[in-house]
Chains A and B, each alone.
Chain A
Amino acid sequence: GAVVSQHPSWVICKSGTSVKIECRSLDFQATTMFWYRQFPKQSLMLMATSNEGSKATYEQGVEKDKFLINHASLTLSTLTVTSAHPEDSSFYICSASRQGSSYNEQFFGPGTRLTVL
C-alpha cells in the first residue's frame, strides 16, 4: 500500500507555455500533499504544502502565481507551472501523508522531469 503516482513522468514544452503535473495517492487518502523541486546534484527543495480543500502554503522564495497548486480531493493534487521558462527545467516530485498515519511518513511519487526549451 501507500502508492503515489505522478503524471506525466516527463514533459518537454516551449518557453511561455503552462504545464500541469498531477499527483495521485492510489490506495490511500492523503490529507496533505507536498511539492518538491530538485535540480541536478542538489538537494530536494520543498516548494509548497497542500491541504485538501484549502490554499497551499508556499515556502519562502517560491512564487505562488507561477506555481499554482490545487488540491481538489483527498487523492489528487496538481501543480501548474505557468509561463514556463528554461530556468524552470527541473525534477518535480510530490509526496503525500496518509490520513490516519501514526507517524506521518511521506510517500513520494516517481517524479516528473520538466524540460523547457
Chain B
Amino acid sequence: QKEVEQNSGPLSVPEGAIASLNCTYSDRGSQSFFWYRQYSGKSPELIMFIYSNGDKEDGRFTAQLNKASQYVSLLIRDSQPSDSATYLCAPAPGGYNKLIFGAGTRLAVHP
C-alpha cells in the first residue's frame, strides 16, 4: 500500500479560480507534511510545511491538515498560469530519513 495517494490529474482550472489539491496518507503516525512544486523539466521546490491540524496560509497558498481523516490539502487562490506545475505532498520524515512522495498532481491553469 502506498503511503501517500494523490490524484495524478491533470487538474484544469481557469485563471483566477481556486485550485484544490488533495493528498491522503496511510500512516496515522505522520505528524507533519511538506508540499513541493515541480515545474516541467525542473527540480522540486518546497512551498509549504504544515504540522498541526487546521489551516496554514502563506500568500495565495493555504495548506490544510486533517489528522483524523488522514488527508492534507493545498488550496491555491487566484490561480495563475504560472502555477501550472506538478504538486507533490510528502509526510515529514523522522530524523534525516527519506521523503516518501505521492505521485503528484499536475495542475493546469488556463487563461
Residues of A at the B interface (CB closer than 8 Å) are 31-32, 34, 43-44, 46, 49, 51, 91, 93, 97, 103-111
Number of A-B contacts defined by CB within 8 Å: 47
Specify which chain B residues have a CB less than 8 angstroms from the CB of A32 in the assembled complex: 96
Closest-by-CB residue of A relative to B86 is A43
Tell whether A103 pairs with B43 under 8 Å between CB atoms, given A46-B98, A51-B96.
Answer: no
Report yes or no: B101 in contact with A43, Cβ–Cβ below 8 A: yes
| Number of chain B residues whose Cβ lies closer than 8 Å to a Cβ of chain A | 24
Q: Is the interface of A mostly helix, strand, loop or mixed?
A: strand
Report yes or no: A110 in contact with B96, Cβ–Cβ below 8 A: no
State the CA gap A91–B42 with chains docked (Å): 9
| Min distance, Cβ A112 to any Cβ of chain B, angstroms | 10
Contact for A44 among B44, B49, B95, CB less than 8 A: B44
| Min distance, Cβ B47 to any Cβ of chain A, angstroms | 11
State the CA gap A32–B96 with chains docked (Å): 6
Q: Is the interface of B mostly helix, strand, loop or mixed?
A: loop
Report yes or no: A43 in contact with B104, Cβ–Cβ below 8 A: yes
Report yes or no: A49 in contact with B98, Cβ–Cβ below 8 A: yes
Residues of B at the A interface (CB closer than 8 Å) are 32, 34, 36, 38, 41-46, 49, 51, 88, 92-99, 101, 103-104
Report yes or no: B96 in contact with A97, Cβ–Cβ below 8 A: yes
Report yes or no: B95 in contact with A104, Cβ–Cβ below 8 A: yes
State the CA gap A109–B93 with chains docked (Å): 19
Report yes or no: B92 in contact with A104, Cβ–Cβ below 8 A: yes
Tell whether A105 pairs with B51 under 8 Å between CB atoms, given A32-B96, A43-B101.
Answer: no
| Min distance, Cβ B6 to any Cβ of chain A, angstroms | 10
Report yes or no: A103 in contact with B44, Cβ–Cβ below 8 A: no
Report yes or no: A108 in contact with B44, Cβ–Cβ below 8 A: yes
Among A49, A91, A106, A110, find the residue whose CB has the most chain B CB atoms closer than 10 A: A106
Closest-by-CB residue of B relative to A33 is B96
Report yes or no: A103 in contact with B96, Cβ–Cβ below 8 A: no
| Min distance, Cβ B29 to any Cβ of chain A, angstroms | 15
Report yes or no: B96 in contact with A109, Cβ–Cβ below 8 A: no
Specify which chain A residues have a CB less than 8 angstroms from the CB of B36 in the assembled complex: 108
Closest-by-CB residue of A relative to B103 is A43
